């Protein structure tokens, strides 16, 4: 991971040996939203990409990877990322009430310098993204 990257966007099959990465089709949009919010995000590497097209009312987001160094150096970057994503989804769905906007998100957090990770999966209303901030910090400190 580039030292300037704050959040890495992971494909669904990041742990496999496939010859391509399978990203949710929202990955380009989420990358742009994060960059507009001043957050340096990047894709895993240069392996070919395929997209998973999911048609539903809910938003399927790419997996967010937050490194231990980012947690230590800038504890609020993930909170800002979640807020930027939340605001984008709300603006993109002006005729839907907040509680009707459903989102699926997985966050992988590097817990320590020895590179162990733990993940959180969220599936619920868009307003609940704000609550993930505390969960991320909690698992990072376990």
**How many of the other CB atoms lie within 10 Å of CB of 113?**
9
The tens digit of pLDDT for each residue in 45-69 reads 878 778 877 666 667 888 898 888 8
Whether residue 66 contacts residue 78, with contact meaning beta carbons closer than 8 Å, is answered with yes
| Distance separating alpha carbons of residues 108 and 86, to the nearest angstrom | 18
Q: How confident is the model at residue 37 (pLDDT cuts 50, 70, 90)?
A: very high
Tokens of 136: 């991320």
Two tokens, residue 92: 């993109």
pLDDT digits (tens, 9 = 90+) for 95-118: 555 556 688 889 998 877 677 888
């Amino acid at each position: 991971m580039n030292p300037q990257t704050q959040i890495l966007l992971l494909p669904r099959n990041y742990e496999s040996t496939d010859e391509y990465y399978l990203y949710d089709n929202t990955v380009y949009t989420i990358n742009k939203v994060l960059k507009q919010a001043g957050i340096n995000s990047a894709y895993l590497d240069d392996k070919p990409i395929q997209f998973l097209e999911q048609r539903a009312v809910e938003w399927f987001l790419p997996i967010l990877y937050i490194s231990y160094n980012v947690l230590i150096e800038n504890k609020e970057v993930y909170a800002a990322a979640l807020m930027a994503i939340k605001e984008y989804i709300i603006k993109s769905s002006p005729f839907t009430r907040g509680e009707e906007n459903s989102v699926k998100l997985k966050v992988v957090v590097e817990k320590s310098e020895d590179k162990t990770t733990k993940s959180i999966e969220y599936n619920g209303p868009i307003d609940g993204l704000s609550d993930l901030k505390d969960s991320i910090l909690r698992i990072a400190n376990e």
